[in-house]
Amino acid sequence: MLKRLYVHNYKCLVNLDINIDKNFGLFMGENGSGKTAVFDALYEIQHFIRSGARLDDKLNTSFKSSTLTRWLNEPVQKFELDINGNSGLFKYTLEIEHNLERKLIRVKSEALLFNNQPLYKFSIEEQDGMSISVGRLFNDHQTSNEGIPWASSWFSSALGSIQERHDNKKLSWFKKWLDQLYIIKITPSTLKIEIDTEEAYPERNLSNYAAWLNYWNNENSEGVFLVLTELKKIIKEFKSFKFTQLGLQKILEVKIDKLFYFFNELSDGQQALTILYTIIYCVPENSFICIDEPENFVALPEIQPWFDKLYDQCAERGLQALLISHHPNIINYLASDSGYWFSRENNLTRIQKISAENESGLSVAELVELGWIYDE
């Protein structure tokens, strides 16, 4: 479970420190207040480690210089994650350094600790006027205080390339946690129904949903059955999915009544609901789900049952969920128990925990006064 996220010098996020005390959270606030930037930062960290992306690649999309906070004029971006799991606390830190004149982006430092004991450390140090990279890998049992030298690049994360061994199970647990982080903003207009090969991980906009569903159809048929069960309650005469072979590709179709339709012939709302139920029923236990405005394209009577199911899955399967929403009814439903209020003051993003009473943070009464909650 993500317990804390720190971001500095990334878009509008400056010294932003978020502490999360529950497995369900709701981000709310005006447009431009920094909610999506938090999801962007999480996605950048995950992609940087998992993909093996190189910062010196001309096609690189990670930590572009355009993500530096415009008004700071500082060269270093800083990120920290505190994750509770594996009977302890992981702390991941990353510093990205930008040299705008030379158009150079590099890793200044990267570290992963478990209960304050290092698992991996990398830094660029100055020795005799030269920049020297120093990477060290530590085993689970800390048999060496110095660790062992580990070949590390200035331009990529070494964590993604470290293979699992009997003595680095903790580091591997952290990588698995990253594999089970889903950061999503559903965009029906981008969905492709053609499948070249099944895909174990969704694109952020779910454009590869058909290939992702094909993967779960083979790997988690029970989860797909639960998705079908929910869809039969929502879409009149809905029957099943079908993966139709068409040449070298497959095509995702759905059966409604006695006819088959291409998946993209469903309405945007029907596509969105299908994806939302797939997320909560098919992802592995203990996954971390971040969804930007899940209510888009969907009516409140349709999204409310999904929220209830998401709550249930968080409790039953150990899921953690962070949602962004502007919908007043959803804010009414979730704010007092799980809400975080984002605002901008002097360009900086500020975050306050919502509380039922006038404790530290922002009270529900103040949200009512601001017009974000209806006092019914």
When the pLDDT of each residue in the chain is averaged and rounded to a whole number, the result is: 91
Specify the amino acid at residue 118.
P
The SS3 of residue 305 is helix
Amino acid 260: pLDDT: 96
pLDDT (tens digit per residue) in 157-191: 999 889 888 889 999 999 999 999 999 999 999 99
Half-sphere exposure (CA, 13 Å, Cβ side) for 203? 14
Amino acid 374: pLDDT: 46
Burial of 272 (0-12, 13-18, 19+ CB in 10 A): buried
| Cut 0.85: pTM above it | yes
The SS3 of residue 15 is coil
The residue whose two tokens read 């404790």 is 359
Amino acid 150: pLDDT: 86
User: Contact, 323 vs 25, CB < 8 A?
Assistant: yes
Pairwise CA distance, residues 354 & 341, whole Å: 7
User: Contact, 144 vs 160, CB < 8 A?
Assistant: no
H helices then E strands: how many in the chain? 8, 19
Structure tokens at 159: 């964590």
Pairwise CA distance, residues 209 & 11, whole Å: 29
The SS3 of residue 216 is helix
Pairwise CA distance, residues 59 & 82, whole Å: 30
DSSP string, 255-268: EETTEEEEGGGS-H
Amino acid 345: pLDDT: 85
Pairwise CA distance, residues 212 & 233, whole Å: 23
pLDDT at 376 > cutoff 50: no
pLDDT (tens digit per residue) in 236-272: 999 999 999 999 999 999 999 999 999 999 999 999 9
Q: Which residues contact 245 (CB under 8 A, 6 or more apart)?
A: none
pLDDT at 332 > cutoff 90: no
Amino acid 29: pLDDT: 86
The SS3 of residue 301 is helix
Q: CA 49, 50, 51, 53: dihedral to nearest 10 degrees? A: 0
